[in-house]
A and B are shown apart, each in its own frame.
Chain A
């Protein structure tokens, strides 16, 4: 493992790939790897790309990566697709749209299945993101299909979140999913070559302006503000950027938005706030997982099963059952009670 970790720090692709697999499959490997690499992380700008299926996320990631490469920045890409809840299998097809990136040693692409783990997307990608960060990639792009919890998870894991919409899915505000303004740092209307793109842009802008009176706080910052330029308190204003990913149109402008957001995060101190928020969630997630594992080790399976049966038969309520289970985990509390 030590050798592998060293090679990861040197940015060797084979080692990076192997370590991601190990971390993906084993809690123990994750612990070893993160313990060793953590101090080398925190350098990368993590950019989430989310949006409805087929909106052009992968095509856009391909173009964004090319634009970052023009600036001579190395780019890592994590493309997440859902696992089948029935078979556990997954079809990971995002690479099909990223063929332009082949043969460039400054690019590393990894497809991942969501695997429906306890912590969801955050848990699935957290390890891979840290490995790529420690391997020295200054830009990490994470693509996920915007569906329910996944897009919230990605917003929590990323510094900058792009929400991709495409025209032709109806043009009024109701068609955008609730909550996208809480998630998006940048709104992208892709497929701007398609009819109706203007109306999609207008609808999104209207939505932003409606939010202006009751600007909500997200990660401790104001979400939407009127007109151009930062407001008096320097809040971030969500831009709406039109792109035609298939023709590379709007991509340099989008990268400028991304870099403006990065500068804003740094200057405002929001970067640190987000890192703290992310760390808090990560600690909670790890603690939950460890408590659960501890429980499985300390309480015999038949005892656990007996409690489940008792709750199902209404002989015991679930709170009492959990209190009993918890007593096994916290002897001091038990003694003090």
Chain B
């Protein structure tokens, strides 16, 4: 009943055409177990669908799981749509198989953090929480 207690709301989505959402679900559950409200949007989302959901759900952060290799164009599109909708301040995280060579480009696009397949859920939770609390 306390005033102004804000439970973080995080959107987890899978843009692109690859069909594995195991990793995304593990992250979704870890964030839930850390006390966050996770909006899970499922497979094969377009950047438009993801940003529309993020807007309607008024999320504090967005996590994208991309295994297809198309992370650069997909992320670029998501970031552009966020800017268009005046949501550039929403932190975006990326998980999946992302070559180290692409990290500078992703950073330049404004991505807050990238997790490889080896990242622990503790690490992910800590980073997301940090970003949400800064915001």
Interface positions, chain A 12-49, Cβ under 8 Å from B, are: 13-14, 16-18, 20-21, 25-28
Q: Which of A82-90, A137-145, A203-211, A272-280 contacts B (4 or more CB under 8 A)?
A: A82-90
Cβ of A89 and Cβ of B53 under 8 Å apart? no
With A13-B56, A102-B52 known as contacts, the answer to whether A89 contacts B1 (CB < 8 A) is no
Decide: A92 and B39 in contact? CB cutoff 8 A. yes
User: Number of B interface residues, CB 8 Å?
Assistant: 34
Contact B33 A87 (CB under 8 A): yes
Asked if B55 is at the interface (CB within 8 A of a chain A CB), the reply is yes
Least Cβ distance of A114 to chain B in Å?
Answer: 11
Q: Which residue of B lies closest to A28 (CB)?
A: B3
Residue in B1, B6, B48 whose beta carbon sits within 8 Å of that of A103 in the complex: B48
A87 nearest in chain B by CB position: B35
Query: Is A329 in the interface zone, CB < 8 Å from B?
Result: no
Chain B residues with CB below 8 A from A26, complex form: 3-4
CB-based A-B contact count at 8 angstroms? 94
- Is B35 within 8 A of A109, CB to CB? no
Interchain nearest-CB distance for A331 vs B (Å): 24
Once the chains bind, are A102 and B49 in contact (CB under 8 Å)? yes
Residues of B within 8 A of A21 (CB): 6, 9, 58
Give the shortest distance, in Å, between B86 (CB) and chain A (any CB).
7
Residue from A17, A26, A111, A117 with most neighbouring chain B CB atoms (10 Å)? A111
A113 touches B86 (CB 8 A): no
| B40:A95 contact, CB within 8 angstroms | yes
Q: A14-B85, A102-B48, A293-B1 are in contact. Are A91 and B40 (CB under 8 A)?
A: yes
Task: Say yes or no: A96 contacts B57, CB within 8 Å.
Answer: no
Q: Does B74 contact A (CB under 8 A)?
A: no
B77 within 8 A of A: no
Q: Is the interface of A mostly helix, strand, loop or mixed?
A: mixed
Whether, in the assembled complex, B112 has its beta carbon less than 8 Å from a beta carbon of chain A, the answer is no
A74 interface residue per 8 A CB criterion: no
Q: Determine if A292 is an interface residue (Cβ-Cβ < 8 Å).
A: yes
The residue on B at minimum CB distance from A109 is: B56
A89 and B37 contact, CB distance less than 8 A: yes
Could you jot down 25 A-B contacts, CB within 8 Å?
A: A13-B55, A16-B56, A17-B58, A21-B9, A25-B4, A26-B4, A28-B3, A89-B7, A89-B32, A89-B35, A89-B36, A89-B37, A90-B32, A91-B40, A92-B37, A93-B40, A93-B42, A96-B40, A99-B42, A99-B45, A103-B48, A109-B53, A111-B37, A111-B39, A113-B7
Q: Which 6 A-B pairs have the closest CB atoms?
A: A96-B42, A89-B32, A17-B58, A102-B49, A21-B58, A93-B40
Query: Which residues of B are in contact with A by a Cβ distance under 8 Å?
Result: 1, 3-7, 9, 28-29, 31-42, 45-46, 48-49, 52-53, 55-58, 85-87
- A residues contacting B by CB (< 8 A) are 13-14, 16-18, 20-21, 25-28, 83-84, 87-93, 95-96, 99, 102-103, 108-111, 113, 115, 117-118, 289, 292-293
